[in-house]
Structure 1
Amino acid sequence: MDHWDPLLTNGLAEGREVILVDFPGIGGSTGETPRTIEGVAAAILDFVDAIGLDKFDLLGFSFGGMVAQAFAKANAQRLNRLILCGTSPRGGEPSPFIAEVRQRATGNANQDDFLWLFFGHSETGKAAGRAFWERRMERTEDRDPPTAPEGIMAQQLAGRDWLEPHGERFADLAAITAPTMIVNGTLDVMLPTINSFHLQQHIPDAQLVIYPDAGHASQFQHPELFLKHARIFLDG
C-alpha cells in the first residue's frame, strides 16, 4: 500500500471513503498469497464480506487491475464502478520489452530502473517519476514491510497463469457489467498499452483514457489530471 501515490489516495479521500488493502501475504497482510488471479480475487471477496462492505467502487493497478477484473467478473452485483490502471486482460499481449523488464525489475532495482519501468522515457516523464518517488517516501512511520519471497513467487505464478485465455480470448470480459474506466500511458513497457484497448473493446460499458508521454504508472505521472477524470467518472 505504501507504493501508492499519497496525492491520489488522499485526493480521492477528500470526497469519499477510501480503503487500501494489501493482498494476503503481501506487505502488511499475513497469510499465504494465492497462486492465481482468481484466487486473490476470492480473498478480496472474503475481505469485503468481513468488513461488511456490500456495494462499492473498485480500483486496481497492474496486478491489482487483473484482480479487479476477476472480482468484477464473479461479483458484478457488488460493484458500482470499476477503474483499471496499467493492466491487461486474461490472455493479453505480452511485452515486447520482457527481457529488459526482467533485467530491471529485480529486488536491487535502482531509481533509473524504476523510472524506466513505470514512467515516460522523456526528461519530462523522468522528472514526474522522481517527484512521485519523493511523494511515496513521505510517510516514515508504520510502513509496510517488504514482501517475502514466497509472496513474490506466488504473484509471478499468478501472472503467468493470467497470460493463458480461458475459452474464447477476451470473451470473459463481457461478464464485467459495471461502468469501467481504463487508464494507461502511451508506452507501457510492462503490460503493453494495446491491452488497454482490448479491455475497452470487450467490456460492455467501458471508456479509455490514454495519457501522453507516460508509461505503466500513468496515474502517478499525471496525478492531478487522473484525479479530475476519476472524480468525474466515479460521480457518474
Structure 2
Amino acid sequence: MTSYSMTQTLKVSAANGVDYAYRTVGSGAPLVLLQHFRGNLDNWDPALVDELAQGRRVIAFDNTGVGASTGRTPNTVPAMADDAIEFLDALGLDRVDLLGFSLGSFVAQEIALHRPDLVNRVVLASAAPRGAAGMHGWHPHVIGAVGGREPSPTGYLSVFFPSTPTGLAAGQAAADRIFGARTEGHDEPTSWQTRQAQYDAVTQWGIPDHAKLQRLQGITQPVFVANGDSDPMILPRYSHLLAGLLPDAQIKIYPDAAHGFLFQHHKEFAADVEAFLAA
C-alpha cells in the first residue's frame, strides 16, 4: 500500500462547479476525513492515515475554497456540509463512514443530519455540539496561537499537544511526520479568506442556543466521540455533553493529550476507530 505521504493529489469536478482536491489511500469501505480549522491535505498525520487505511479506503479532501480546491470558502458549517456532500456525490459514493476532526467534526454532524442515508458510522474527534454554552469563539490565547495571518508552528504545537515531556516529544514527532514526510506535490496553503470564513463558522456554531442541542437526536447512526484530556481548544466537557445527547454514542478521552490527540496516539486511536467501524 502506498503511504499517504507519497499519494498524489487528484481532482474531481462536482455539480456545484467546484473542483475538489483530494487524496485516497487503501481499499475497501470508504472512510472520509474532514479537516480542522485552516488545515489542508498536508495537515493530516500520514502515520494516522496509513494506520486507518490498513483495512479500508481513506479519502481526504479540501472542501470548497480550501487549499487546492476551487471556489470561495463559505462561512457557515451547514454550507460546508452541503459542499462536502457535493464532493461525495461527485465521487459516486453512496455510503460512507465519516471521521471529522475539530471544525471537521462540526461538518460531520451536519452531513449526518442533512443526508442521513449517506452515512454509516461517525467518528467525532475534538468535537462539540452546536449551541453549547461557552463555545462562542475560542479562548483568546487559542485563537492567538492558531489564528494569526502567518501560521505559527509554535502556536500549533501549544494547542495540539500538552506541555508535558511526553506531550512535547509527541508533538515534535508528529510535526516531523506532518511537515517533513512529503517531499513533493504539496497542497496549496489555505488562504486568509478561508481562515476568516472558517472562524466565522466556528463562532456561529458556538452561539449559545439550548434548543440547537436537540438536533442531535436526529443523528441515529452509531458515533464514536474522542478527545484529549487537556484540549484547550475544544474542552473535553463538550465531548461528554455531545456523547450524552447523541442517541447511540460511545466516548473515549485519551490521557496526557490535547487537541491533536489523534496524532499523538495515532496507533491507539486508529485501532479504536477500526474496532468501532467494524462493530
* TM-score scaled by length of structure 2: 0.81
Match of 1:94 among 135, 150, 158: 135
Match of 1:104 among 145, 167, 175: 145
The answer as to whether partners of 1:121 and 1:213 remain within 8 angstroms in 2 is: no
Alignment RMSD (CA, Å)? 1.6
- Give aligned pairs, total: 236
Q: What amino acid does structure 1 have at the position aligned with 2:234?
A: L
The residue aligned with 2:79 is: 39
Q: Report the CA distance shift for 1:4/1:35 in structure 2 as closer, same or farther (over 3 A).
A: same
The answer as to whether partners of 1:94 and 1:192 remain within 8 angstroms in 2 is: no
Structure ranking higher on relative contact order (CA contacts 8 Å, 6+ apart): 1
The residue aligned with 2:17 is: none
Q: Matches of 2:254 and 2:166 in 1, distance apart? A: 13
The residue aligned with 1:54 is: 94
Q: Report the CA distance shift for 1:207/1:136 in structure 2 as closer, same or farther (over 3 A).
A: same
The residue aligned with 2:262 is: 219
* TM-score scaled by length of structure 1: 0.95
**Higher share of residues assigned strand:** 2
Q: Report the CA distance shift for 1:132/1:67 in structure 2 as closer, same or farther (over 3 A).
A: same
Q: Matches of 1:170 and 1:95 in 2, distance apart? A: 14
**Percent of aligned pairs sharing the same letter:** 39
Q: Report the CA distance shift for 1:97/1:69 in structure 2 as closer, same or farther (over 3 A).
A: closer
The answer as to whether partners of 2:135 and 2:207 remain within 8 angstroms in 1 is: no
Q: What amino acid does structure 1 have at the position aligned with 2:161?
A: F
The residue aligned with 1:123 is: 165
Which residues of structure 1 form unaligned runs of 5+? none
Q: Deviations over 1:64-117 (max 9, x none)?
A: 110001111121221111000012111123389712112212244443322211
The residue aligned with 1:19 is: 59
Q: What amino acid does structure 2 have at the position aligned with 1:198?
A: L
Q: Deviations over 1:123-155 (max 9, x none)?
A: 111110100000012102111111111111111
What is the Cα deviation at residue 34 of structure 1? Answer: 1.2
Q: Matches of 2:277 and 2:112 in 1, distance apart? A: 16
Match of 1:203 among 226, 246, 253: 246
